[in-house]
């Protein structure tokens, strides 16, 4: 096991903003400004997230005039999300207690 690669893999995805981007892109490709509008989120924040996701192969991008269209890489994301769904369903109670609550408070 290449431990640091695993860590990077998980770290990138352990973030609300990036997960929201992934979620919304799973419904179809969007430009940066469209993502900002739909997620009611700052442009620079979205861009930072997209760069990280792209660097690690979770999304792809394509220039289209002034705009840049981002799309999910389904090969990794579809089976990954499916797998987690199954686990999340089982451990929903524990996993959900993290909602806006710090790790320590939830104990």
Partner DNA sequence: CTCTTATATGAATTACATATCATATGAACC
Partner DNA sequence: GGTTCATATGATATGTAATTCATATAAGAG
Q: Which residues bind its own copies (CB under 8 A)?
A: 1-11, 13-16, 19-20, 22-23, 26, 55-57, 76, 79-81, 83-84, 87-88, 90-92, 94-96, 98-100
43 is in the binding site of which of its own copies, DNA, none (Cβ under 5 to 8 A by kind)?
DNA
DSSP state of 60: E
In 26-73, alpha helices (H): 32-39, 43-55
Other CB atoms within a 10 A radius of the CB of residue 22 amount to 19
For residue 32, give the nearest of 74, 63, 78 by alpha carbon.
63
Min dist CB 61 to DNA, Å, is 6
Task: Give the nearer residue to DNA in terms of CB position, either 64 or 90.
Answer: 64
């Amino acid at each position: 096991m290449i431990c640091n690669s695993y860590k990077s893999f998980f770290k990138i995805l352990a973030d609300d903003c990036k997960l929201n981007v992934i979620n919304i892109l799973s419904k179809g490709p969007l430009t940066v400004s469209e993502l900002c509008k739909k997620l009611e989120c700052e442009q620079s924040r979205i861009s930072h997230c997209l760069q990280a996701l792209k660097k690690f192969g979770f999304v792809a991008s394509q220039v289209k005039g002034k705009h840049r269209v981002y799309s999910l890489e389904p090969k990794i994301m579809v089976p990954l999300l499916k797998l987690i769904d199954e686990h999340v369903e089982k451990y929903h109670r524990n996993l959900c207690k993290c909602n806006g609550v710090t790790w320590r408070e939830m104990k």
